Amino acid sequence: MGRSFKVCLEVDPAVITPVPGIALDTLFLVVLQAFAVIFLSKFIHLFLRRYNQPSAISQILAGVAVGGMGLRNAIVHVDVDDVEDMYGGYIAASRVVYMFLVGLDLDLAALRNATRRCAALAYATVAASLFVAAVVSSGMYGSMMHSPVKTPELLAATLMLALTNTSSITVSRIAGELRLTVSENGRLVVAAAIITNLICVVGDGLLSSTTLAKVKTQDSMYRGSPQIKKGLLALAVAGVAVWRVGPAVTRINRRNAGQRHVRTRDLVFMLLGVWCVSSFQQLLGFDGMPTSLALGMAFPREGPAARSIVDALVPLVHGFVMPFYFATIGMRLDYNSMSGAIIVPGMLLSLLGLVGKAVGAAAASTYLNIPVSEALRYSVLLNVKGHVDTMNMKFAKTEGVWAEQALYAMIIGNLISTIIAGPAAAAVFRREKEAYRTRHQAMESLGPEQELRMVACVHGSRAAPGILSLVELLVSAPHSQPAVPVLHFFEPPRHHQTTHGDAGDDGNKSGGGGGAPDAVTQMNRVVDVYARATGISFRQADVVSLGASKDAAACCRGAEDAHAVLLLVPCYKEQRYDGKMACRVEDRWRHNVEVLAQAPCTVGLFVDRPYRAGGTSFQTPISVAPESGRTLVHPCSDRTVTHVVAAVFMGGPDDREAVSFASRLAEHPAIGLTVFRFVRRSTYDTVTSSTSRAAATVAAGGEDVDGGSQGGGGDVDERFLWRFYENYAARELAMYVEKMVESPADVVETLEGMAGMFSLVVVGRGGRQPAELTAGLERWAEAGSEIGPVAEILASIESMEMGSVLVMHQHTVALTTPRKQ
């Protein structure tokens, strides 16, 4: 583990401030620099953001500019060593706080799915960097050092750590700001950076402990190093803290159940606990960053405790702490000491680090199944140094590993490696964004083993249980399901217009008056219940409703930011207390129309029936669902299930998407699925003819295409149903039934007969179905032009026993996409 340094070891006794160890003029200098770099970085970012550059690059450039203004020398003379003392404590504290938030924000389930890939990239780049450093260590001594070192071995070990290390804080910040972490490759880079940083932190701690132990033994013949004992003590304290943080936070959540935020004393207790544990590591002489990261990862995500931590820290950290943290990278430069003897070795250090990372990433690209060009872009991000090297260089200088010039060169190299990461991150961002927009984002294109990324959209806590119950049924393994964003649209209180839905506001429509909880708090309660009961990680985002068009744009933007394949949205048709379905809010209809037109992925419109009688409904998680009074049996076995689901298939991409969605449901042990295919009696002779026709189609060697092209839609449908039959019906996970119809009346009669039989019916939106099966249904098609005739028939059934309906609209990729210059 790395070392931490105290703030300003030498203090002017004539001028003392309430802050221990900092002179008054130095404190004023730091505050002045902070305000200067924050203002200047915002101005620079107005220009760089057009090129998708992260704000960290603007903040570093602002630090370089402020450092060149001579502010350091305007009050007191501060050389590089004193800068390390002045900024060292602030940098260490910033690392602790930010890495705790990084650990709290990590999608553990998604990372768990890619553990082997992340470890492979990290180990490959670490091994290659270590090899490059070992080879060039002797040559670097001749080009950089002007005084003899203690031992060549110590020089080689220090150089290995310097070239191998990666600033996980910088990579996490860049990736989080550009939303790279929602993609598999983005998570790969962030996880590899964290693993590399942790490896080097441990290696640096071992190096310092063994070096200090060797010195102690030679000087005083002392057996047994106190530094090693301190390291064991630090590990023990960190392990106990990580083990107990979950139960402690759970108790706090129980004391504050039903609230948006915990009480102030509980918040202070949690913050002080994290700070004290991490500071104890630094007090023993080690880096507190790994402990704070582990505490964040072990911190329970659901409940008011996590929300309170995030709401309290994120604005301060993102608005002040991190901008000044990155600016200090640039402010370390000493323009008076700049010369070719410093700049050239600094550039060489940056180049050698990049070579090692590039060789390792290219070697791992085959195993990771990514192009070499992509691996080389990732290597630039993994070569970001930030503060990680210069924090350890003071030890190298005091131990005589190299001379003072090496510290200046290291600052130059770190600055170069961090700045060039901006264009590399922008290139990765553009490629990931273009790949998402041009890929067929549909459930039909997903394999059974591929992760399903989805976004849920709700308009208040009343509609949330139905949508969240669908999410629960889609997830058969919660421990491997990526976090599900929940976009909550709400209207602020009329007498107190706000943009953040703060807890404690009265008069909200959904919360009622007289001290009732507001809409955001009510939604928090629902999400917390489902998170605890299902084990799924939900990430609630509260958005002020600004009208149908803007809400729909926010919905689609949220789906694109999350790289979602499925967007679940409540349908404009709502059930009244008497069982009738009606559109209560005109904006909901326009919202559905806008989402269907703009969505970058498959859309599922959910027609919920919360007042269904005589069967189960989607109002509570399965684990806490009340008894319905009826025993439901799986259609292919004798086991009991909680929900029986039906899917209707006529043909076309929307119906294939409906069956694909239902197939995901069939993998859940609480679901019994039946797929009904509607066929014309004059076209098909027997109900078992589908398997033979599909087998003949597959044997003919036909190729799948996205969507039903002209003249080939029937073949696509046959191949799709054959795969469904083999993967689900033949394995008795679902039942396949063909319903023969001859007239529109037969279609309507069959659909209306589903009332009371199924708790959910999944259908395609329509419009791309075979014309011979939808002929005569024009009345329903006109009445429900947004959801299609089949969904309109099912949604219009007024029986209280009728189940909910899910209308699927498959995403379509344009055949030609405009080329960007």
424 plus 454 within the same structural domain:
no
The last residue of one of the domains, among 554, 578, 613, is 613
pTM across the whole model: 0.84
Range of the domain at 594: 445-492+519-613
140 inside domain: yes
- Whole-number percent of the chain with pLDDT over 70: 76
- When pLDDT is cut at 50, 70 and 90, the band that residue 397 belongs to is low
374 plus 417 within the same structural domain:
yes
19 inside domain: no
Mean pLDDT of 679-706: 53
Q: Which of 230-239, 404-413, 706-715, 792-801 has the lowest mean pLDDT?
A: 706-715
The last residue of one of the domains, among 432, 460, 480, is 432
18 inside domain: no
d(CA 277, CA 297): 15
Q: Which residue has the higher pLDDT, 503 or 580?
A: 580
588 plus 553 within the same structural domain:
yes
CA nearest neighbour of 650 among 772, 759, 734: 772
604 plus 659 within the same structural domain:
no
3-state secondary structure of 694: helix
pLDDT tens for residues 196-230? 989 888 887 777 666 554 554 444 444 445 777 88
pLDDT tens for residues 308-325? 999 999 999 999 999 999
Q: How far is CA 497 from CA 494, 502, 507, 542, in A?
A: 6, 11, 11, 15
Task: Copy the structure tokens of residue 106.
Answer: 């990590």
Q: Which residue has the higher pLDDT, 580 or 473?
A: 473
804 inside domain: yes
- When pLDDT is cut at 50, 70 and 90, the band that residue 770 belongs to is low
CA geometry: angle at 115 spanning 111 and 119, to 5°?
125
394, pLDDT greater than 70: no
173 plus 320 within the same structural domain:
yes
Q: How far is CA 75 from CA 33, 238, 256, 719, in A?
A: 12, 41, 49, 78
Instruction: Tell me the pLDDT of the chain averaged across its residues.
Output: 79
Task: Copy the structure tokens of residue 8.
Answer: 């300003």
pLDDT tens for residues 716-757? 888 899 999 898 988 888 999 888 887 778 888 888 888 778
Q: Do residues 442 and 652 touch, judged by C-beta distance below 8 A?
A: no
Looking at 475-547, list the stretches that DSSP marks H as alpha helix, in order from N- to C-terminal side: 519-534
How many domains in the chain? 3
Amino acid at 683: T
159 plus 235 within the same structural domain:
yes
452, pLDDT greater than 80: yes
CA nearest neighbour of 72 among 58, 59, 84: 84
Contacts made by residues 207-213, CB under 8 angstroms, sequence distance 24+: 207/157, 207/158, 207/161, 208/3, 208/285, 208/395, 211/154, 211/399
457 plus 545 within the same structural domain:
yes
597, pLDDT greater than 60: yes
Q: Which of 100-104, 112-116, 152-156, 493-497 has the lowest mean pLDDT?
A: 493-497
CATH number, residue 772: 3.40.50.620
- Whole-number percent of the chain with pLDDT over 90: 31
d(CA 558, CA 454): 10
179 plus 310 within the same structural domain:
yes
- When pLDDT is cut at 50, 70 and 90, the band that residue 34 belongs to is confident
Burial of 248 (0-12, 13-18, 19+ CB in 10 A): middle
Q: What are phi and psi of 535, to 5 degrees?
A: 80, 5
Looking at 284-403, list the stretches that DSSP marks H as alpha helix, in order from N- to C-terminal side: 289-298, 304-316, 322-331, 340-368, 372-382, 390-398
Q: Which residue has the higher pLDDT, 407 or 101?
A: 101
The Cβ-side half-sphere exposure at 813, using a 13 Å CA radius, reads: 17
158, pLDDT greater than 70: yes
- When pLDDT is cut at 50, 70 and 90, the band that residue 103 belongs to is very high
145 plus 246 within the same structural domain:
yes
3-state secondary structure of 280: helix
Place of tokens 């030679």: 218
DSSP per-residue codes, 641-656:
ESEEEEEEE-SSHHHH
Q: Do residues 632 and 672 touch, judged by C-beta distance below 8 A?
A: yes
Burial of 691 (0-12, 13-18, 19+ CB in 10 A): middle
Task: Copy the structure tokens of residue 195.
Answer: 């693993």
Q: How far is CA 429 from CA 47, 139, 179, 433, 599, in A?
A: 18, 37, 8, 6, 20
Q: Do residues 122 and 196 touch, judged by C-beta distance below 8 A?
A: yes
Q: Which residue has the higher pLDDT, 611 or 178?
A: 178
- When pLDDT is cut at 50, 70 and 90, the band that residue 85 belongs to is low
Task: Report pLDDT for 237.
Answer: 92
412 inside domain: yes
451 plus 329 within the same structural domain:
no
206 inside domain: yes
122, pLDDT greater than 90: yes
CATH number, residue 112: 1.20.1530.20
408 plus 486 within the same structural domain:
no
The last residue of one of the domains, among 432, 453, 480, is 432
44 inside domain: no
807 plus 669 within the same structural domain:
yes
16, pLDDT greater than 80: no
CA nearest neighbour of 100 among 254, 245, 285, 253: 245
Q: Which residue has the higher pLDDT, 485 or 390?
A: 485
96 inside domain: yes
